[in-house]
Amino acid sequence: MQSAYYQQPFSAILYDADQLPRPNPEWMRVEHWPQAELLAGGRGAAWRIDTQWGTAVLKHYRRGGLMAKVNQASYWFNGWQNTRALREWRLLAQMFDAGLPVPKPWFAIAQRRGRWYRCAIVSDFLESSRSLWSLPPAQLLDASLWQNVGALVRQFCDGGIMHPDLNLGNVLLDARQGLSMIDFDRARHVEGRSLPAQKMQQRLLRSYQRYQRAHADNAQVDWLQPEQLLGWMQ
């Protein structure tokens, strides 16, 4: 992957020059892609798009929590290299080149207006994959799946990657039972260190408890205790 950077007074673009020509800032607009399909999950800000280079995911950055009621999609500008999309692109490229199971990044665009900016990132669409959150309980409550999830978490921690937003929605399972991670907006890389897995494991367990509450009306499910899932992940 050959990264290329292009900056204008009110926009900056980081992209894979081996795969793409220099992207147009218009490419971050959903309206530019007439066949864009809104994807489930997250904050309603990711779309599947079909391009001449293949199928990809376009993700707009949006806030959560109380702040989203005031300012949903704009962030304080503190330099182009500090914009969320460009930071995530660089980390995705680093992880992809290191062989970690993440989508390949295509391009990231940030646009500035005054002291605020908006941004978007486009990366590979992982065909035949679905999030763990979308699985039925019978499939989610499987020992081998959670053993593989534990191995996935350790793989990233051994690579010095901390994913502070890890949950069942951003771990994907493909048709061959392979696992991958997405949504590294707030993730970070700690150079030269292997990180403990406990924090990421605990985040997954809290997400499992939310999943359990969301399916509480299913009387047929024999729910497992988080401690048992943690044991499978060790």
Q: Which of 124, 120, 116, 107 is nearest to 29 (CA)?
A: 120
pLDDT at residue 47, as a whole number: 96
82 neighbors 2 (Cβ within 8 angstroms): no
Q: What is the rounded distance in angstroms from the CA atom of residue 70 to the CA atom of residue 43?
A: 15
Using DSSP's 3-state secondary structure scheme, residue 189 falls into strand
Helices then strands, each counted (H, E), the chain:
5, 13
Pairing of strands 188-189, 3-8: unpaired
| Residue 70, both tokens | 């005031």
| Residue 137, both tokens | 């309980």
pLDDT at residue 193, as a whole number: 84
* Residues with active-site annotation: 165
Domains located in the chain, CATH noted: 3-124 (3.30.200), 129-233 (1.10.510)
| Residue ranges of E strands in 171-232 | 171-174, 179-181, 188-189
pLDDT at residue 42, as a whole number: 67
Place of tokens 């990657």: 161
Q: For residue 101, what are the contacts with CB-CB under 8 A and spacing of at least 6?
A: 152, 155, 178, 179, 180, 181
Place of tokens 């020059």: 17
pLDDT at residue 68, as a whole number: 47
On the CB side of 184, how many CA atoms lie within 13 Å of its CA? 28
pLDDT at residue 220, as a whole number: 86
Q: Cβ of 137: how many Cβ atoms within 10 Å?
A: 16
* Run means of pLDDT, 10 residues per run, the chain, 234 residues: 96 97 96 93 84 96 65 89 97 97 98 96 96 95 96 97 95 96 95 91 97 90 92 93
Q: What is the rounded distance in angstroms from the CA atom of residue 183 to the CA atom of residue 8?
A: 27
